[in-house]
Every structure is written in structure tokens, then in C-alpha cells.
Amino acid sequence: MIEFGHFAAFLAFGLSLAQGITGLRGERRLAGLLSVAAFGVMALSFLTLVQAFVTSDFSVALVANNSHTLKPLAYKIAGAWGNHEGSMALWCIVTLGFGAAAAAMMKTDRPLFEARALGIQGLLGTGALAYLLFASSPFLRLDPAPFQGSGLNPLLQDPALAIHPPMLYLGYVGYSFVFALAAAGLMEGRIDRIWAKEARVWSLAAFAPLTIGIALGSYWAYYELGWGGWWFWDPVENASLMPWLIGAALLHSITVTEKREGFAAWTALLAVLAFLFSILGAFLVRSGVLTSVHAFAVDPERGTLLLIGLLAYGGFALGLFAWRAPKLEGGKAWTLLSREGALMANNIVLIVAALTVLLGTLFPLIAEAFGRTISVGEPYFNLTFVPILALILILLPIVQAWAWGKADVKGWLRWAAGGAALVALFVLLGIGPFDISVGAAFGLALGLWLVFGSLWELKRRAITPGRLFKLPRRVWSMTLAHAGLGLFVIGAVVETTGRYESTLALAEGGKGSVAGWVVTLDEVRSIEGPNWYADRAVLTARKGSQVAVLEPMKRFYPAARMPTTETAIHKTGTGDLYAALGEQRDVDGEARWVFRVYFNPLIDLLYAGVVLIGFAALLGLWSSPRKVTPAEA
């Protein structure tokens, strides 16, 4: 079967190359058929890899290095993409899948444009398959085959991490087709309303899973690593955040192109940058140039090939943009004090935010090249990224109520006065009964400002309560996304500034306290799982009439020779009581177990906000028209 899969991958390579050639020649129907065939063949190839993992075929090097007979079935399947080679196979199948979906769904009445978009996508698939087959093959065999495998990285043996890579790749690779649309539009010299309608669909199809994928990765790090927080500015976290920021800017820019046929060149550039930042993310994760607990591989040679691919795609796209962008039409006139002007300001701030993250991520490498060792962490991002992002959030409720062409300045002044009053109220409450910092008070006011602004926008558009649920799904998508952003800000501010943390060294029967909870260690016992053994502690936490039992563990996986921390989390409705088991130590001649115990207030509100943003993107995708009317054409 694995030889069949290897052959099928080569066949997909040939079909994808043929798709690229026929598409660029303008043969829409043939390019579409080839894209569907390439995806179907690559799907069969990928299924042979999954089958090899399910049956523990250790004659396949990838299976021997990343699986084990005792591993649960779900994680055997996840092992097919929980490594460098398998993840690149997933990248290939998603790339070809977007091409096949586009072949079936594109309806712009511009066959040459559609053919070129499919052709560019075919070439992107060809490049990904060339890397897979000639530099990172998952089909290599071992002779003789080992009796047992090494096991999947224990950190990846988790439900969230099993789903996280496919969701991220749907986002990363989804921008490949937006890239293809931009290249085809530039070739045609038309980035207009029809182009924007199509690009919006595929931008949302990438943005929604990328949002959910980032949330899954964050939540996995929160409960699996035992660090107690939800975001650590890890290089791989940053690698997914940067294309998300560019993707958010792209969605706002596409709105202007669709409604006013403005920002044509700017929108095309953002479409290019969204995919290039996705490729950059793949390079950072897989090249080994940056160290991260999330990274799949440390392989500078293959990382160099990814960098060459990034430069090749980037050089082609930016060269095409420089050649064709000056010939694009500019659309209707607009002023700074208009919805267009505010959306352009929003885009610029998002780009600056992404570049700020990029600088903080790469600066240690730049410093190392000059012989210096510098660590860039949370303080840098708090001082740079957070104020930049705050600028966008302040503008959102105002901008969504502004008119196209020219805004109502009086209305803006009323909004500004309301926002200032809200901030002043929270600052006074913070100084008084809330006892929080001025920064936290401002953050809470900003979060409520976003939520209120979203609700007010619904009221403004509905006019009467009876019309509320008759509003277009697109309006609901926008307002729910902004409301989700507000919930995220409130949760992030409260959790970050209100987190309680304590390190407890407890003997059995010993007690400690954190955030008003009295924590008692009942026992620590050894247990065994299917492919691991562990020390499991039983903690009883009490606060008034509330009682919670927490069972944090320290696991060890013999096959991988690797320990993991399994935290225990009790949700109280107002926050998480969170415990992580450390090592046993001798304290004053007595054996004690060390625990890190946290209380993280309103952290679920943070994740609820992100999920709401992802849902809003899916709602917007559902509401997108698939056919352009003759009047719009």
C-alpha cells in the first residue's frame, strides 16, 4: 500500500503540474478537471499513510519514528500529520483540496481569470509536492523493519493537538488560493467588485479555521504545558498570529474593494502578503532556526529549501504586483474622515502590528548574527504590540457606523465623548473599589466599548426589534466578530492582571492556600496508562461551601523517554483553579511534593471571544453570494 501511495503522490505531482500549465494557457475546464483529479489521487496517497499508522507498519520509517503499538488509535491516526514529513503531506492535500473546491465553486463568468487562478494554484501544489517527494518524503522504507516504533511525541498525544494542525493548515494553505486569485487578477489587470466577491469567500474560508486553530493551540499550551497562562509569545505562536493579522486586514480591505471598488492595489498586496506570511510561518516551525516547544522539526537543510520557496513565491508575486499594480483602477474617491479612510488606517495599524511581531520573533536571530545573545519576550510585546492593537479597537465601534465617502463628524464626536466617559468611569472604579491598575481599567473599558458598539450597530441597522433577525447574515458576521473581540479583550485583561499564583510544597495531609482556596494534598500514587506511567496527586480544594478535587499528574512515556505535565483544572464559573504537579523534594528533612497552583479569572471568556470570532467568520462565509449579478458585472 505504501508503494501505491508513493506512486499516487508522484501522479498527483504530474497532474498538478499539468493543471498549472493548462490553467495559465486559459483552459478553464481542463484545469478544473485536473485539479479535482490531483486532489483525489493525493487523498488516496495520504490515506495509505494513515493506513500504515493504523496497522503499525514499522517498515515505513515515518511510522517507526512516530508511532507505537500501544498508542491509542486516535493518536495513531494523528501521527500521520504529527511530524515534519506527515505535516507536509497534509499541506499538499489541503493545497490541492482548495484547488479542487475552487474548480467546482468559482462562478465569476470570467473563464480566463478562473483558469489562471487554477493554474497558479496548480503551480503552488506542484512546488509543495516537489518538496514533499524530493526533500521530505514520508514514504521511505526500513529494511529490516524494527519490531517496535519510537512513539509519537507525547506532547502531541492530545485531542486539541490532533485537530490543531489540520485547522491551522486550512488557514495557512487557504491563503494560497487567495494568493492565486490576486496573481490572476493582476495578470488580467482587474481587481474589482467581481474579484472581491470571490476573494472574500476564500479569505473567510482561510480566516475561520486559522482563528480556531490558533485558539486550539493556545488552549493546548494552557492545560498541557503547566505554565499557567494562555499566550507566551512563543515563536511558533507568533508564526500563526502574523498571517492572522494580515488576514484580518485583508478582509477589511476586500470590503472596500467590493463596495466601492477602491483599494484595488492594496487589497492585492495584502492577499499576497497573507500567503507569504503563512509560508514564513511554515519556515519558522520547520527550519530549526527558532527553538519552540511547538516546533515539528530541527532541520536546517530542509528549512533552507522552504526559505528558497518563500523567496521564489515572494519574488514572483511582488514582481508581478510592481508591474501590474500601477495599471489598476483606483475606484471611487474617499477622504480620511470616511469609512474607507478608517479602514485604511485599520489596515495600516494591523500591518504595523504584524511587523512588530515579526521583528520581536526574528530579532534574537539578527542579534546572534552579530555575535550577541538577546532574548525577546513578553515585556517587548506588551510595550509595542498591545498599544498598537488598542488603536484599532478604539476605532472599531466608530468606524462601523461611518458612511462611505464621507463620515458624520458630529456622530464621531458623540462616540468619542462616550468612549472617554467609559474609560474615566473604569479608571475611577479601578482607583476605588475595584483596586486595579489604570492599564487594566482602560482594557476593561475598551472591551465593553467593543461589545456595546457591536450591539449598538445591530440596533442602528435593525431600527426596530422586529427587524433584528431579518438583518443580512453578513451584518451579523461583522458585529459578532467585533463583539467576540470585545469579550476576548475583557477576558485577557482580567486573566492577565487578576491571576493568582502560588508555589506549594506539600507533604501528604499538608495544606496551602491560593486566592482564598485552601488546598490539601490527600495522596500521591503511581498509576499506568496504555503507553505511559505516572505519579498522580489528589488535591482537595475548599473555599467556603465550594469543594473541588484536582488530580494533576506527571507522566512518563518509556517509548519516547519523555515526561509530560498533565494539569488539573476546576472551572468555578468565575475562573479556573489550576494545579500542576512538580518534583518531589526534601524540605526540612521531610519529603514534599511541589505544586504550582493558579487561579485564572474569566479565562473562559477569553476563549469564548475567540470562538465567537471564528463562528462569525463561518457565518460570513455562509452569507457570501456565489454568483455575481449582471448589474455588478
Model confidence band, residue 630 (pLDDT cutoffs 50, 70, 90): very low
Q: Provide the grid cell at 89.
A: 503531506
472 — pLDDT class (breaks 50, 70, 90) = confident
Q: Is pLDDT at 293 greater than 70 in this prediction? A: no
pLDDT given for residue 628 in this prediction: 46
325-353 residue pLDDT tens:
888 876 677 777 778 888 888 899 999 99
Report d(CA 467, CA 336) in Å as an integer: 32
Long-range interactions of 292-297: CB distance < 8 A, separation 24+: 292/234, 292/235, 292/236, 293/155, 293/221, 293/225, 293/234, 293/236, 294/217, 294/221, 294/234, 294/236, 294/237, 295/236, 296/83, 296/84, 296/87, 297/83, 297/84
* Widest pairwise Cα distance in the chain: 84
593, 581 in Cβ contact below 8 A?
yes
Rounded to an integer, what distance in angstroms lies between the CA atom of residue 577 and that of residue 516? 11
- Cα separation, 147 vs 59, in Å, equals 9
Distance, first Cα to last Cα, the chain = 49
The three-point CA angle 14-16-17 to 5° equals 65
| Mean of all residue pLDDT scores within the chain | 87
Question: In this predicted model, what pLDDT tens digit does every residue of 71-92 receive, in sequence order?
Answer: 888 888 988 988 889 989 999 9
Q: What is the pLDDT of residue 291?
A: 54
Q: For residue 627, how far is the Cα from the chain centroid?
A: 29
pLDDT for the residue 378: 86
Is omega for the bond preceding 144 within 30 degrees of 0, making it cis? yes
Encode pLDDT of 94-120 as tens digits: 999 999 999 999 989 999 999 999 999
User: Could you tell me which residue, 300 or 614, shows the higher pLDDT?
Assistant: 614
| 303-307: long-range pairs with CB below 8 Å, 24+ | 305/131, 305/135, 306/131, 306/279, 306/282, 307/283
Choice between 164 and 632, residue whose per-residue pLDDT is larger:
164
> How far is Cα 4 from Cα 48, in angstroms, rounded to an integer?
8
Q: Which residues have CB under 8 Å from 437's CB, separation 6+?
A: 430, 497
What span, in angstroms and rounded, lies between the C-alpha atoms of 224 and 155?
8
* The amino acid at 310: L
Give burial (CB, 10 Å; 0-12/13-18/19+) of 432. Answer: exposed
pLDDT tens, residue by residue, 144-181? 888 887 776 777 778 887 888 889 989 999 999 999 99
Please state the rounded mean pLDDT for residues 582-610: 91
Count of Cβ atoms closer than 10 Å to residue 540 Cβ: 14
Provide the 8-state DSSP code for 70: T
pLDDT attached to residue 553: 94
Q: What is the pLDDT of residue 153?
A: 72
Residues in contact with 356: Cβ distance below 8 Å, sequence separation at least 6, in sequence order: 381, 384, 385, 388
DSSP string, 412-456: HHHHHHHHHHHHHHHHHHIIIII---HHHHHHHHHHHHHHHHHHH
If DSSP codes are grouped into helix, strand and coil, which group holds residue 263? coil
Instruction: Render pLDDT for 369-393 as a digit per residue (tens, 0 to 9).
Output: 787 878 788 889 989 999 998 888 8
The rounded distance, in Å, linking the Cα atoms of 629 and 238 is: 40
Torsion from C-alpha of 467, 470, 475, 479, nearest 10 degrees: 60
In this structure, are residues 86 and 79 in contact, taking their beta carbons and an 8 Å threshold? yes
Phi-psi region of 333 (alpha: psi -120 to 50; beta: other; left: phi over 0): beta
Q: Which three cell numbers stand for residue 626?
A: 456565489
- Cell numbers for 147, please give them: 519490531
Cα–Cα–Cα angle for 209, 213, 216, rounded to 5 degrees: 140
pLDDT tens-digit readout, 486-520: 999 999 999 998 899 999 999 999 999 999 999 99
Contact (Cβ atoms closer than 8 angstroms) between residue 472 and residue 623: yes
Of 261, 246, 248, 274, the C-alpha closest to 173 is 274
pLDDT digits (tens, 9 = 90+) for 242-253: 999 999 999 999
Q: Is the pLDDT of residue 466 over 80?
A: no
What burial letters (b/e) apply to 327-360, b meaning 16+ CB within 10 Å?
ebeebeebeeebbbbbbbebbebbbbbbebbbeb
Three cell numbers at 260? 466601492
Phi/psi for 523 (5° steps) reads -165, 165
The DSSP element (H or E) to which 396 belongs, if any, is: helix 378-399
Measured CA to CA, the distance from residue 198 to residue 433 in angstroms comes to 52
244 grid coordinates: 492572522
